[in-house]
Amino acid sequence: MIDTSSSETEKINEVWVVAACWNEEAVICQFIERVLLRPDVAGLVLVDDGSTDSTLERVRQWQKKSGDQKNVKKVVLIELTRNFGKEAAMLAGLDFAKDFSEAVVLIDSDLQHPPELIDEMVIAWRSGAEIVTAVRDDRDQESLFKITSAAWFYKIFNRLVDSVQLIEGAGDYRLLSAPVVEALTTMREFGRFSKGLVPWTGYRSFEISYKRVIRSGGVSSWSPIKLFSYALDGIFSFSVLPLKIWTFLGITVSFVSLIYALLVILRTIVQGIDVPGYASLIVAVLFLGGIQLIGIGVLGDYIGRVYVAARARPHYFIRHIYNID
């Protein structure tokens, strides 16, 4: 088991890495080796988020093989009971690591986040940064659709949200000092959006640029639908402005309708009664019906979040924790 009885002097340089894993059998062992090569990393916490391939087995094999070696860094494997999602898996890792680390590095296990950047992140942390954020400066490997949609998301989010501003290209690859980890684990909200929660805490941040590399194995689990849903999570978690927008939209539509009604009355007085066009009537009905359905959908999303929060179910369940003793 992990020894948490070390003194503050011994803990001061304890940097642990937390990574969520989902079907990463092709790269997981290489990922472990590259992370543990970093001299400032004390250990690694892997959270298996209900993988359906052999990710879990390969990590267990690595643990057993390394258990006989001397001075090997600790690798802890947390097996969740099912797939709870990346946000829940990262929260599980932070919950586990916060008790024995002075800083935690969140990183993806697909090797698109280069582990070698951890050295530079630790230097920035020891120089006073409470959060160190890795920001992508090269996105040529991504599709035009993903680049364009991401750019629009950041613009819309930063326009709608006043409490926090997102940096384009900043993802989940971050170093978090102990106070930041404590703050994040205290917030138990559902529909978590860590990209916004981290800067929302208000701790000092330092940005480091890096080039994202091509996946060396496996397939991304982020489909366009999941990305769109995640984007909505981010906006709805930090702003109620979408609700207010429909109030202003309703006022605008009502005002335009009133002006049109006055024009119809005036035309009737001047030219007499005529038969209104069927096409214009159908267009108006469909337009207003669509506006109402969208408004109901936005309202329903917020109500759904209140319902989920009211149930207060745990974010995750752990089947087993595998440690190197």
Distance from CA of residue 157 to its chain's centroid? 14
The count of residues in the chain is: 325
Sign of CA dihedral 38, 39, 40, 46: positive
pLDDT in tens, 206-227: 999 988 776 665 566 666 777 7
Mean pLDDT of 14-42: 94
pLDDT at 106 over 80: yes
Asked if 196 and 166 touch (Cβ cutoff 8 Å), the reply is yes
Distances (CA, A) of 110 to 19, 30, 131: 10, 10, 22
pLDDT at 1 over 50: no
> Hey, what are 9's tokens?
């002097």
Residues 6+ apart with CB under 8 A from 84: 49, 50, 92, 315, 316, 317
pLDDT at 76 over 80: yes
Distances (CA, A) of 308 to 56, 170, 302: 30, 28, 10
What is the 8-class DSSP label of residue 116? G
The H-or-E segment that residue 19 falls in is: strand 15-21
Q: Which of 6-20, 31-45, 238-252 has the lowest mean pLDDT?
A: 6-20
Name the residue with tokens 């209140």: 306
Averaged confidence pLDDT in the chain: 84
Q: What pTM was estimated for this model as a whole? A: 0.80
Q: Given this model, what pLDDT does residue 7 score?
A: 42
pLDDT in tens, 77-88: 999 999 999 999
Reading phi first (left if > 0) and then psi (alpha if -120 to 50, else beta), residue 190 is in beta
Distances (CA, A) of 256 to 106, 199, 250, 260, 263: 51, 41, 10, 6, 11
Of 40, 194, 199, residue with least CA distance to 106: 194
pLDDT in tens, 244-270: 777 777 777 777 777 877 777 777 777
Distances (CA, A) of 108 to 20, 31, 288: 7, 9, 44
Comparing 19 with 250, the larger pLDDT belongs to 19
pLDDT in tens, 262-320: 777 777 777 766 656 655 676 677 777 777 888 888 888 888 888 888 888 999 999 99
Q: Given this model, what pLDDT does residue 4 score?
A: 46
Provide the pairing of β-strand 170-177 with 103-106: antiparallel
